[in-house]
Amino acid sequence: KAGVTQTPRYLIKTRGQQVTLSCSPISGHRSVSWYQQTPGQGLQFLFEYFSETQRNKGNFPGRFSGRQFSNSRSEMNVSTLELGDSALYLCASSAPLENEQFFGPGTRLTVL
């Protein structure tokens, strides 16, 4: 069974631009969660989607948004990029009634 995939793996953007990251969960998984990882703040929860509905949201500004499609694939969008948005963005999926999350390799975003 294929693991969680994330595209692209690396991105370089400039301040003020926007970016869209994509995540394809493991087949059969309906929950997708997003995390931001930085050296200073560690791993921080962004949001979680289940069956196309946002079920949980972390403490991030409204510039960070996401969505989930009917095939469970998810995207997150960051608008008006700031230097502090430079991070590794990780996506994780989990199966119904299971409590472990499986992570993708991440997208490394650099904002210049």
Partner 1 sequence: GDSVTQMEGPVTLSEEAFLTINCTYTATGYPSLFWYVQYPGEGLQLLLKATKADDKGSNKGFEATYRKETTSFHLEKGSVQVSDSAVYFCALRGRGSTLGRLYFGRGTQLTVWP
User: Which chain residues interact with partner 1 by CB under 8 A?
Assistant: 4, 6, 31, 33, 35, 42-43, 45, 48, 50, 55-56, 58, 90, 92, 94, 99-106
Tell me how far apart the alpha carbons of residues 106 and 91 are, in angstroms, rounded to a whole number.
7
Minimum CB separation of residue 80 from partner 1 in Å reads 25
Smaller CB separation from partner 1, 79 or 86:
86
Minimum CB separation of residue 58 from partner 1 in Å reads 7
Minimum CB separation of residue 66 from partner 1 in Å reads 13
Smaller CB separation from partner 1, 16 or 69:
69
Smaller CB separation from partner 1, 39 or 62:
39
Minimum CB separation of residue 44 from partner 1 in Å reads 8
Q: Measured at the alpha carbon of residue 90, what is the angle toward residues 89 and 93, in degrees to the nearest 5?
A: 150
Residues 6+ apart with CB under 8 A from 59: 44
SS3 21: strand
Q: How many Cβ atoms sit within 10 Å of the Cβ of residue 86?
A: 16
Smaller CB separation from partner 1, 5 or 20:
5
Q: Measured at the alpha carbon of residue 95, what is the angle toward residues 107 and 10, in degrees to the nearest 5?
A: 5
